[in-house]
Structure 1
Amino acid sequence: MVKFIIIGGGGKVAQYFTKQAVEEGHEVHSVIRNDGHSDELKKIGAKIHILSLEDASVPDFTSLFTEVNPDVVVFAAGAGGKEPGPDVIDYQGAVKIFDAMESSNKKRLILVGAVDVRTRDKGWPDWYNDEDKSTSDRVWKAIPTYLDAKLKAEIELHKRKQIQFTVVRPGGLTLDSAGQVQLGKTHLKQTSRELVGKVILAIATRKGLEGLTIDVMDGEGSIEDELTNVVDNEIDAWTG
């Protein structure tokens, strides 16, 4: 049994993850900003903690981590185009969690990022085709503040030597049922939210994926086979 704390527990990816984890016998502590999702989370077996990434302090999260003593922290929070915005939630909120993990000596983190988060002045990733480049330009033009906040969070995370992280970067999120998957260096496509939840759980319960940044797309492989491929080839999609 693995004990999880998931930040941003009310989101759809987080709820899929929570349901799957509880069904497999794990314990999930879901952190949400208010009680709006409490009933639905309790129905799927989550233990609820109300703390706002915007308003709570690092000591608040440190106290929570010390009290719950999780094996794995999952950061799945996102502003979603709403106030207070991605810089406050996706960047500053993530940094609060990094600080609280270090203060409470919690090491294992899975961070849900976004595909194509990168320092663009370094040029294109070498596996991108023309369609990927067109998609990248379009998405960065549409949601630059969000992607920039995700990038800053990842850059900061790479400085935290105490934290054993894996970054999961889904593509364009859909409400489709989970199917097969492609992991690692992928093209810019769509990803089922349910599938992302399954991938997070698989990563959290498997050794050898620490320090990797893994793109997640709908594909044609099984999660276990694709993770084995990532480990065997030491695929790291980090392009910061």
Structure 2
Amino acid sequence: MSRIAIVGGHGKIARLLIPLLVDGGHVPVALIRNPDHTAELETAGAEVTLLDIESSDTDDFARAFEGADAVVFAAGGGADGNIERKKTVDLGGSLKSIDGATRAGVSRFVQISAMGVDEPLADDTEDTWVAYVEAKRDADVALRDSSLDWTIVRPGGLTDDPGTGSITLAEKVDRGQIPRADVAALIATVLPDRSTYGKQWEVIGGPTPIPEAIAAAT
């Protein structure tokens, strides 16, 4: 049994990941800002720790990670067009999570990013999307440059469709969509898998069962 700290513990993917971790014999620790979400997450089987990504510092993150065996960064600044929150949550939250995990001695780190964030942007790209892409890109760079045992998952367009258990996974894949449930299942599968350390993948829906897709990509 292992303890998995989830930054952004009330996000859509996190809420799908929690029961998978519980079923796998792990203890998910949901790090959340809003205490009103505590009962829901505890009912799903998670422990809850309050942590405001934007107002907390690296020491706060390190304390929140104490006793954890792995960290999943699943937080996002939302789709409300707030450019500043892309910097403070998508990037700042990741940077503080990376440093906090390092200080707490937690070596395993899985980060949910986004497809295509290394690609050049068109001159007419909306400012909000530019901020989002730059935040995700720079967060991935920081994690790759860290000493942690990292895996970066870059899904395509996210949907709320039921999971299929099958994906297309590689360093680069064609544009496409994927159910959040399948992203959660992928994360639950890679967390304990040492062959996924130091791997960065794009992922969309596809025909290959998740364990087979991972085996083919490692």
Paired with 2:135 and 2:207, the residues of 1 have a C-alpha distance of 31
Measured in 1, the distance between the counterparts of 2:130 and 2:116 equals 11
Tell me the distance in 2 between the aligned counterparts of 1:194 and 1:214: 17
Q: Percent same amino acid at aligned positions?
A: 29
Which whole-Å CA distance do the structure 2 matches of 1:8 and 1:112 have between them? 11
Q: Residue 145 of structure 1: which of 119, 131, 146 is its match?
A: 131
Query: What TM-score results when the alignment is normalised by the length of structure 2?
Result: 0.92
Quick one: distance in 2 between partners of 1:194 and 1:138? 34
Q: Among residues 133, 140, 146, which one is paired with 1:154 in the alignment?
A: 140
Q: 1:79 — aligned with what? A: 77
Report the secondary structure of 1:217's partner residue: strand
SS of 1:52's partner is coil
Change in 2 beyond 3 A, CA 1:223/1:51: same
- CA 1:70/1:116 → structure 2, altered by over 3 Å: closer, same or farther? same
1:205 aligns with 2:188: no
Count of residues in correspondence between the two structures: 213
Distance in 2 separating the partners of 1:216 and 1:52: 29
User: The residue matched to 2:92 in structure 1 has which SS?
Assistant: helix
Distance, in Å, in 1 between the alignment partners of 2:207 and 2:145 is: 34
C-alpha RMSD of matched pairs (Å): 1.8
Change (3 A) 1:140 1:16: farther
Runs of at least 4 residues of structure 1 off by over 4 A? 136-142
Looking at structure 1, the residues matched to 72 and 177 of structure 2 have their Cα atoms a distance apart, in angstroms, of 22
- Flag structure 1 segments of 5+ consecutive residues without an equivalent: 121-135, 232-240
- CA–CA distance in structure 2, aligned partners of residues 57 and 49 of structure 1: 15
State how far apart, in whole Å, the 2-side matches of 1:224 and 1:209 are. Answer: 11
Q: C-alpha distance in 1, partners of 2:122/2:48?
A: 39
- Equivalent residue of 2:41, what SS? helix
Moved more, 34-43 or 211-220: 34-43
Q: Which amino acid aligns with 1:71?
A: D
Residue among 160, 168, 176 paired with 2:161: 176
Residue type of the alignment partner of 1:152? D
TM-score, scaled to structure 1: 0.84
Letter in 2 for 1:75: F
CA spacing shift, 1:138–1:112, aligned 2, 3 Å: farther
Structure 1 match to 2:217: 230
Q: Is the 8 A contact 1:140 1:147 kept in 2?
A: no
Matches within 5 A, 1:30-109: 30-66=30-66, 69-82=67-80, 83=82, 85-109=85-109
Q: Distance in 2 between matches of 1:116 and 1:36?
A: 35
Partner of 1:186, secondary structure, is: coil
Q: 1:165 aligns with which of 150, 153, 166?
A: 150
Greater CA drift, 42-51 or 141-150: 141-150
Matched, 1:28 2:14: no
